[in-house]
Amino acid sequence: MTTDTAAKTPEAGKATGNVKHMNMIEAINSALDNMLERDDDVILLGEDIGYFGGVFRCTAGLQEKYGKTRVFDTPISECGIIGVAVGMGAYGLRPVPEIQFADYIYPGLDQLVSEAARLRYRSAAEFIAPMTVRSPFGGGIFGGQTHSQSPESIFTHVSGLKTVIPSTPYDAKGLLISCIEDNDPVIFFEPKRIYNGPFDGFYDKPAKSWKGFDEAQVPEDYYKIPLGKARTVTEGDALTILAYGTMVHVVESVTRAKGVNAEILDLRTLVPLDIEAIEASVEKTGRCLIVHEATRTSGFGAELSAMVQERCFYHLEAPIERVTGFDTPYPHSLEWAYFPGPVRIGEAIDKLLSE
Amino acid sequence: MSKPRDENADNQAGSNRPKLALHVPEPRYRPGDTVDFSDLQISKAGDQPRPDETAEASETYPLCNDLIRVLGDDDKAHGPWDPRLDADTLRAMLREMALVRAFDNRMYRAQRQGKTSFYMKCTGEEATSVCATHALAGDDMIFPSYRQQGCLIARGYALTEMINQIYSNKADKLKGRQLPIMYCSKRLSFFSISGNLATQLPQATGFAMASASKGDSRIAATWVGEGSTAEGDFHSAMTFATVYNAPVIFNIINNQWAISSFSGFAGAERATFAARAIGYGIAGLRVDGNDPLAVFAAERWAADRARANGGPTLIEHFTYRAEGHSTSDDPSAYRSAEEQNEWPLGDPVNRLKKHLIALGEWSEDQQEAMDAELDAEVRKAMKEAEKNGILGHGLHHPFHTMFEDVFEELPWHLEEQAAQAIRERQIKFPEDPAE
């Protein structure tokens, strides 16, 4: 039994082996493949992830390669999936449970909030829950109410949980490997709108694939991206934009189209947050826009806004702006009226820059 | 749409059916009632067949509606479930059960004296933890609820450590973070107790699945009250256990009461708790939870079954919660005070004592001497623990420890908050620069 796979790792950082074009699904599959290979204690479980390879193909081929006791299907029971993963962690395994859609994580909430998140604390570190809960999240796919939600703020509010959201294939693999090796429970939300290609928010134009993007050049070998570190997507001095997941790409396309010299930070990890990167950027630009798909009230944007206000108050030249989903359940037919797209983001940028 | 209903009509038009009636269960006896348990079906000791550990789960169905009993009214062991334990083991179990009771009594008084905030006794249920633990291997993983102090005591946990935890003092291994009695000991394979009911059931199943996936020999055993079987986690644990044939034992302690709700609110009026196992394809046993030999025998049967890849077992321990739910509870507000004395299965400590006397291996004098010795042992442990402080008397862990172990490493936001807590402390206690 191993509780510290990091100790087995000769070095963290970029891999030197073959680099291949991968979409985000293939990059996640590659991360899982690497970790199953490296660490006998890594075990994958979830609905339809075994023989079938997952409804989004993220676990395709892994059961065949590693066997049914390493990669297996579960009953349709989210509280069961998370609950048994806590017990597996207590034994010494490093489980990677999948919840098919983030919208269906709620039956597992008691096990996540009351158990996984608190186990290290309440046992004074005698028992830990080194699990990574993978789950597709976010909208923009006509998923309606129960295939589009972005519930990250429910988890960022829980002490003891880490929350990680990638926005590129390269990051998805490197971050997922870090999550699996981390000894704390991590919620790893995969923005399913950008599984196959970056989404720029212009839903009426043809969908792009990851082909031709540098971020889709992914090493086949093991590498890590540290948790708690943001990625600077573009450097700029007109304003700072804080985003994660799908919205990173939407924001980038809007600022490019408007010719705004924005500094875009892809937060990557919401807890623990890269506060230094945020402070440095806002102190430089004096303006801050926060963008997320999740509903507005008590969303993670509120936390970001409060922190920027507390820490960068004397550098701010305009009130902090938030562009988010509306405070409604995620609608089906009115998806593009709900989605925080180019118009809403463009307005907020204009407002920020006019003050 | 049909026409509006006339709510005053005795019958709906066109039907002679009675009105629907909601059934809300009611316990048999409320405060002041005279208690009569004479109609309770109590099986004769020794009459229950003992199937082979490899039997199909469905073959155990008759045992789910019976009551496995070994100790008869003559204080002797009867029938195929007699585990034929040697006198030393019997005396060890008697001693541990008596120690649990002595410990409970002293800790209850300590709470009343203000030395701690909270306590929960397990009076009348000592066999269900102590004797079940004796039937397991020392490294089988125990996933307890909050009324299994007997498991820890049976595994030899130091009383002083337990009291340090109850007092949340500076020697408390859990650093004063947990409510009293929420023990944890990885060394003794005793999982961290959670306040959230039934969460340990899928966790035990997961541990058992992990052990099986590694080809290990350890099994998991978990305990839960009958009230908590109503939680969704009970269903998910049973489903996962049967799907993966997990080597896990589910001990349901049916002590008749979930705080003020009698077992009818968990479904006891319609079926036994053991019988639920059969619908999942899991072996079920229903035992006299106040019969130390029956409890041991059933647990050993289930452990042997699990270890031989026979899969999970659910054991319903039929017992009675002789005291209040906790130090915050007054049972005289919802049940008859006579119930405890009228309970037809007697007292587990007394029954094992009488059995040993009947075997010529024990005496009332020895019992008396042992009880005095155990009480002294508990008091000595209390004195030892009190040197490390009692709740609210200043001897606690340093403030910074409040922020540790939330994560493996302290993130910046917790470092900031720790600094604030320590700053506040210096303002409140400027004369004491410690920490």
Classify residue A164 as left (phi > 0), alpha (psi -120 to 50) or beta: beta
Which pLDDT does position B435 carry in this prediction?
Answer: 56
Q: pTM for the whole thing?
A: 0.95
Asked if B320 and B338 count as a contact pair (C-beta separation under 8 A), the reply is no
A226 in contact with B, Cβ within 8 Å: no
The whole-number average pLDDT for the span A192-215 is 95
Cα–Cα–Cα angle for A89, A92, A93, rounded to 5 degrees? 65
Q: Which residues contact B373 (CB under 8 A, 6 or more apart)?
A: none
Give residue A8's pLDDT.
34
10 Å Cβ neighbour count for B79?
18
User: Which residues 6+ apart lie within 8 Å of A216 measured at CB?
Assistant: A21, A22, A23, A27, A168, A169, A170, A210
Total number of residues shown for chain B = 435
Q: Is A292 a catalytic residue?
A: no
What per-residue confidence (pLDDT) applies to B429?
A: 85
For A127, the token pair is: 């028992």
Q: What is the mean pLDDT of residues A266-282?
A: 98
| H helices present in B135-261, as ranges | 149-154, 159-167, 200-213, 232-243
CATH, range A18-219: 3.40.50.970
Domain range list for chain A? 18-219, 231-354
The ipTM estimated for the assembled molecules is 0.95
Query: DSSP characters for B283-311?
Result: EEEEEETT-HHHHHHHHHHHHHHHHTT--
**pLDDT score of A304:** 98
In this prediction, residue A4 carries a pLDDT of: 40
Instruction: Enumerate residues 233 to 272 of chain B having a beta carbon within 8 A of any beta carbon in chain A.
Output: 233, 235-237, 239-240, 243
How far is residue A174's CA from residue A148's CA, in Å, rounded to a whole number? 25
Interface test with A, best of B184, B203, B240 (most A CBs within 10 A): B203
Cα distance from B320 to chain A (closest Cα, Å)? 29
pLDDT 10s digits, A88-133: 999 999 999 999 999 999 999 999 999 999 999 999 999 999 999 9
Residue given tokens 């990851």 in the structure block: A210
Q: CATH 3.40.50.970 occupies which residues in chain B?
A: 57-329+337-386
Q: How far is B161 from chain A (nearest CA, A)?
A: 14
* Predicted local confidence at residue B3, as pLDDT: 57
Q: Which CATH class is domain A231-354?
A: alpha beta
Catalytic residue from among A26, A78, A152, A293: A78
**DSSP per residue, A152-174:** HHHHHTSTT-EEE---SHHHHHH
One of 3.40.50.620, 3.90.380.10, 3.90.1640.20, 3.40.50.970 is the CATH number of B57-329+337-386, namely 3.40.50.970
pLDDT along chain B (435 residues), means of 10: 56 80 97 94 96 97 98 98 98 98 98 96 98 98 98 98 97 97 98 98 98 98 98 98 98 97 97 98 98 98 98 98 95 95 96 98 98 98 97 89 97 97 90 67
A–B: how many Cβ contacts below 8 A? 149
CA distance B396 to B394: 6
Lowest mean pLDDT among A149-163, A262-276, A285-299, B31-45: B31-45
- Quick check: A88 and B173 CB within 8 A? no
pLDDT at position B6 is: 57
Single out the residue of B407, B434, B410, B406 nearest to residue B422, CA to CA.
B434
Equal fold, A18-219 vs A231-354: yes
